[in-house]
Chain A
């Protein structure tokens, strides 16, 4: 088992918690075609010829597994990724969240329009603002994280950062789908329930992000680690508040 712990010059983020490897290998047999060590070596040899197509070598089972491990953050996500970060998951999960936000917002507006309290049944501007908020947050936060780590010489991969933030968006999907009935009731209890729902979604994604990024930021030193963790948490809380105020009214 020693061969798994070689320090490679372009090691990816996150291989710093070793105790989870044994747990992982015992509990969840991931169907991987190539062993991680061989794949990492091959990736370092072929680094000049990486194309976008390389980040789509995932199967259905892989994506579903990654989604489940995001919602139930028990294992280290970078082990689940297993050195094959993909662009399919983050992009389509983000797009689904955009559509779900617009769907939930417009269905409450439509029902209110049917009962006569609002004039126009939907506003297409919500779709545009949903897209800009979610896509913008995912892209910009991932790039900021990557830039911060590059600045501190941690050698991250941009694709890993995008993966983390992309898969973290999945917690907004059940939140946005469960909000419409409570928005239609419009009493104090339903307001409180909506805030609780949003904070549950925020909590799940925050736990996922913090748990997976804490070992990474530790490489940057303790002071910068606390700073970056604080930054990540604050940004995510801001996103949750924005979503609540714009979409879940």
Chain B
């Protein structure tokens, strides 16, 4: 697609690329990042940069954002219905960041003015340090999983807690809050147990799973209050 917004940049790039292409020495370098098909449209030559596996700094921002959202969506679908374990291999921390921010905000905003900052701080720190320590614990017990990957899985598994915190911050009836909290806690814990399924922990399954129970329990207890 041609971009009308930035014609100048494209023209300068095009001239530089043409010069590079004419130079016999330089033309053999950078085969991957050089644009392949220069187009001309209405007198201005615009260049279409294709994502060929080079660095992603060159591509337009919306392409990067779309890629990230697609990755987040794939992982969310995995949490909802664990079918394809390959999705968890390429980890990213965007999802955990968004979820932790939403949880902390939903818990902090309904509180009184004096408590608001401390609640946000404590919950945010609890989420990130809790995930880091649980992942470190799993790694130290002998699982061959990288720390960031397990942080990613634990963070995505806290998506049910996002739902329950949103529900609990708006609704006050006890008979809605208790079942929702219990169900979301169970879902989050079972989703996070997927971090243990590929690891080679022989006798230590419960030792590795217990901190996850504890972490999600403490989060959902604070959400419930």
Separation of A1 and B210 alpha carbons in the complex (Å):
39
Once the chains bind, are B112 and A61 in contact (CB under 8 Å)? Answer: no
Once the chains bind, are A60 and B141 in contact (CB under 8 Å)? Answer: no
Residue B122 at the chain A interface, CB threshold 8 Å: yes
Once the chains bind, are A61 and B207 in contact (CB under 8 Å)? Answer: no
Separation of A61 and B207 alpha carbons in the complex (Å):
10
By size class, the interface of chain B is 20 to 34
Residue with the greatest number of chain B CB neighbours at <10 A, chosen from A96, A103, A120, A127 = A127
Once the chains bind, are B225 and A106 in contact (CB under 8 Å)? Answer: yes
CB distance from A72 to the nearest CB of B (A): 21
Q: Which residues of A contact B141 (CB under 8 A)?
A: 56, 88
> Digit string of A102-136 for contact with B (CB within 8 Å is 1, else 0)?
11001000100000000111111101100000000
Separation of A120 and B111 alpha carbons in the complex (Å):
8
Once the chains bind, are A60 and B206 in contact (CB under 8 Å)? Answer: yes
Separation of A210 and B182 alpha carbons in the complex (Å):
41
Once the chains bind, are B203 and A61 in contact (CB under 8 Å)? Answer: yes
Once the chains bind, are B211 and A60 in contact (CB under 8 Å)? Answer: no
Partner pick for B214 among A60, A63, A95, A123, CB 8 A cutoff: A95
Once the chains bind, are A59 and B204 in contact (CB under 8 Å)? Answer: yes
> Digit string of A190-219 for contact with B (CB within 8 Å is 1, else 0)?
000000000000000000000000000000
CB distance from B49 to the nearest CB of A (A): 46
Residue A71 at the chain B interface, CB threshold 8 Å: no
For B112, give the chain A residue with the smallest CB separation: A120
Once the chains bind, are A124 and B118 in contact (CB under 8 Å)? Answer: yes
Partner pick for A124 among B119, B205, B207, B217, CB 8 A cutoff: B119
Once the chains bind, are B211 and A92 in contact (CB under 8 Å)? Answer: yes
Q: Which of B133-187 contact A (CB under 8 A)?
A: 137, 140-142
Contacts A56-B140, A128-B122: A120 and B207 contacting too (C-beta < 8 A)? Answer: no
Once the chains bind, are B115 and A123 in contact (CB under 8 Å)? Answer: yes
Q: Which of B175-225 contact A (CB under 8 A)?
A: 202-207, 210-211, 214, 217-218, 221-222, 225
Contacts A92-B214, A120-B115, A124-B115: A103 and B207 contacting too (C-beta < 8 A)? Answer: no
Q: Which residues of B contact A58 (CB under 8 A)?
A: 204, 207
CB distance from B14 to the nearest CB of A (A): 56
Q: Which residues of B contact A95 (CB under 8 A)?
A: 211, 214
Q: Which residues of A contact B203 (CB under 8 A)?
A: 59-61
Once the chains bind, are B204 and A60 in contact (CB under 8 Å)? Answer: yes
Q: Which residues of A contact B222 (CB under 8 A)?
A: 124
Please give 15 more A-B residue pairs, beta carbons under 8 A apart, in addition to A56-B141, A95-B214: A53-B140, A56-B140, A58-B204, A63-B207, A88-B207, A92-B137, A92-B211, A92-B214, A95-B211, A103-B221, A120-B112, A121-B225, A123-B115, A124-B122, A127-B122
